[in-house]
Structure 1
Amino acid sequence: MSLLIMYRPYILIAALVGMIFLPIEWRKRKLFIITAFLLAFSAGYELIMEEAVTKMPGRINRALNEKGPEKSENVKYYKKPDF
């Protein structure tokens, strides 16, 4: 595994910290705020989940394509109301 891939979350954090040293008029722009949010989210996701943030769409796709139960697994959970 290359060093770039191994230290990717720390590189993202370094870029986020480096953005603090940009001029004040740049930090007031919406693009700066969006970029800072995306960098913070990416670094946090990679540190917490211990996988690349680029694998997140595949994980979401697999979760949404899973089949649900054929019938209720717990019949006593919901009782139909009597009318």
Structure 2
Amino acid sequence: MTVDLQTEFQTYCAKLPEMIVNGHDGEYVVIRESQPFHFERTYEAALNWAYDKFGLERFFVKKVTEDFAAAHFTRDLG
């Protein structure tokens, strides 16, 4: 099974300027579908929050940064 995170990544790109202006630069955002839900200071904290909130449902965690060289991670849900 292929996990399609295109919607979440598009949301990240669209909301990035707003998230930076609102003081979230350097934090990690949890996005589900087309909604940024939560911000944390560490990847681990964001991931833990997302698992508590969404369980094994699809979600996206990414560092809020203008540097697109940052790595993307997902786990195989298949």
Same fold (TM over 0.5): no
Q: Which structure exhibits the higher relative contact order, with contacts defined as CA atoms closer than 8 Å and separated by 6 or more residues?
A: 2
TM-score normalised by structure 1 residue count: 0.27
| Greater percentage in helix | 1
Q: Highest Rg: 1 or 2?
A: 1
Structure having the larger proportion of residues in strand: 2
